[in-house]
């Protein structure tokens, strides 16, 4: 809900924005943060901005979150300087407050931030063809390349243990032991599969903790809807939604990219015959990714395909845990939806296994 006009005017006045406010529009599509678009005119120059009230129930430390975003975007913009005239379309720009902070805490205790609005771009909700898969891989690889010389230790872990498979299995074990909703009898095959694959699922977590792969910057939500494309759809310009930027292994991002981009099935599909790893999409995705990800260590490169299976597995574990716990974390619209989500992830893993030798050829 938009604050009253006088209150919101006070919020806008805190940021380094010049000119006269000419319009405000609330975005009703977002599900986490409150988002408002504004337009300002300054001596005939029109500039648009995006203002967001960060949901502190989801993000407990908005100042640490925005420090991460500021550090990462500043680093990327320094790489783009002198190479592109349209840097504003290729990287988010944090608009500081007049005191130089990354955000403003209003009198209600709400945390607000401002970005310069990126115009002249388009987004896609899902992968439509192999060309888009290539461009997504290219975008993720380029994002990682731009940050490959950034010290991940400088970032805060705003969501601790986000991709820690050992912790996720411990949560599943607890859910099984508690059997809070009495649903354990419904998940025998799913539980058997996930327990049989437990040890294999630790490969990324253990590689990072053991120092076999370096700590880098991770985005943690590398879906195609978080990429801004040119209006003709032929170039991936910018990766957005940096709220989950944290230190970690870049394999977390390649894994989520593979999980979400190589199947056209819905995440909660009930017809499991539709859940398949599309080899054409997989091949194009990795071709685009490797065209940019020239910084990878041999170990990182060898684990890219495995990362797709691992992140699919961690989501299966999380969905099943939530189902056993009574659907307290993931929003559901129908009974057993989290169990359906679990089954799609497991089906995707099984299909990856069936095609494993072919999928590895992309490396």
Whether the CB-CB separation of 161 and 220 falls below 8 Å is answered with no
Q: Rounded to an integer, what distance in angstroms lies between the CA atom of residue 310 and that of residue 203? A: 8
Tokens of 58: 């989801």
pLDDT of residue 277: 97
CB 252 within 8 A of CB 215: no
Report helix, strand or coil for 12: helix
Structure confidence at residue 82 (pLDDT) = 86
Burial, 228: exposed, middle or buried (Cβ in 10 Å; 0-12, 13-18, 19+)? buried
CA–CA separation, 78 vs 244, rounded Å?
Answer: 21
Residue 51, number of CB atoms within 10 A of its CB:
26
Query: Element (H or E) spanning 192, and its range?
Result: helix 188-196
List, for residues 117-162, the tens digit of each pLDDT value: 999 999 999 999 999 999 999 999 999 999 999 999 999 999 989 9
Residue 298 and residue 19: Cα distance in Å, rounded?
52
* CB distance 191 to 320 below 8 Å: yes
CATH no. of 130-360: 3.90.1200.10
pLDDT at res. 271: 96
User: Angle at the Cα of 72 (from 69 to 74), degrees rounded to 5?
Assistant: 100
The predicted structure's pLDDT at residue 31: 56
5-117 is classed CATH 3.40.50.300? no
Task: Give the pLDDT confidence score for residue 32 in this predicted structure.
Answer: 67
Q: Which CA distances in Å does 282 have to 97, 134, 136, 137, 349? A: 43, 9, 11, 10, 14
CA dihedral 20, 21, 22, 26 (to 10 degrees): 170
Q: Could you give the CA distance from residue 357 to residue 249 in angstroms, rounded to a whole number?
A: 24
Structural domain boundaries in the chain: 5-117, 130-360
What 8-state DSSP symbol labels residue 140? H
Task: Answer for the pair 225, 258: CB distance below 8 angstroms, yes or no.
Answer: no
Spans in the chain with pLDDT lower than 50: none
- Token pair 């029109």 in the structure block, residue: 46
Spatial neighbors of 303 by CB under 8 A, at least 6 apart, are: 203, 204, 207, 213, 251
Is pTM, for the whole model, over 0.85? yes
Q: How many helices (H) and strands (E) does the chain have?
A: 14, 10
């Amino acid at each position: 809900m938009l604050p009253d006009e006088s209150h919101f005017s006070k919020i806008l006045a805190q940021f380094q924005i010049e000119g006269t406010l000419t319009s405000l529009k609330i975005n009703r599509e977002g599900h986490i943060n409150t988002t408002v678009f504004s337009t300002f005119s300054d001596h005939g120059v029109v500039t648009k901005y995006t203002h967001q009230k960060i949901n502190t129930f989801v993000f407990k430390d908005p100042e640490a979150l925005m420090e991460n975003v500021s550090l990462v975007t500043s680093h990327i913009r320094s790489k783009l300087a002198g190479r592109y005239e349209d840097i504003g379309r290729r990287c988010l720009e944090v608009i500081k407050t007049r005191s130089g902070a990354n955000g403003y805490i209003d009198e209600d205790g709400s945390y607000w931030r401002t970005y310069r609005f990126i115009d002249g771009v388009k987004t896609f909700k899902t992968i439509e063809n192999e060309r888009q898969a290539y461009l997504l891989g290219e975008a993720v690889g380029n994002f990682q390349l731009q940050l490959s010389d950034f010290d991940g230790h400088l970032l805060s872990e705003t969501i601790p243990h986000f991709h820690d498979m050992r912790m996720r299995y411990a949560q599943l074990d607890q859910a099984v032991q508690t059997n809070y909703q009495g649903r354990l009898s419904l998940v025998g095959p799913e539980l058997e599969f996930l327990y049989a694959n437990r040890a294999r699922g630790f490969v990324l977590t253990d590689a990072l903790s053991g120092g076999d792969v370096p700590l880098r910057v991770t985005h943690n939500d590398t879906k195609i809807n978080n990429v801004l494309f040119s209006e003709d759809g032929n170039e991936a310009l910018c990766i957005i939604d940096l709220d989950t930027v944290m230190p970690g292994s870049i394999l977390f991002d390649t894994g989520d990219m593979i999980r979400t981009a190589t199947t056209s099935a819905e995440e909660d599909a009930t017809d499991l015959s539709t859940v398949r790893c599309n080899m054409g999409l997989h091949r194009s995705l990795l071709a685009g990714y490797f065209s940019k990800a020239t910084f990878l260590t041999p170990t990182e490169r060898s684990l890219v395909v495995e990362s797709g299976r691992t992140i699919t597995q961690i989501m299966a574990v999380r969905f099943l845990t939530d189902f056993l716990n009574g659907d307290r974390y993931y929003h559901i619209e129908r009974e057993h939806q989290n169990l359906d989500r679990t089954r799609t992830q497991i089906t995707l893993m099984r299909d990856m296994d069936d095609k494993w030798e072919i999928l590895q050829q992309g490396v």
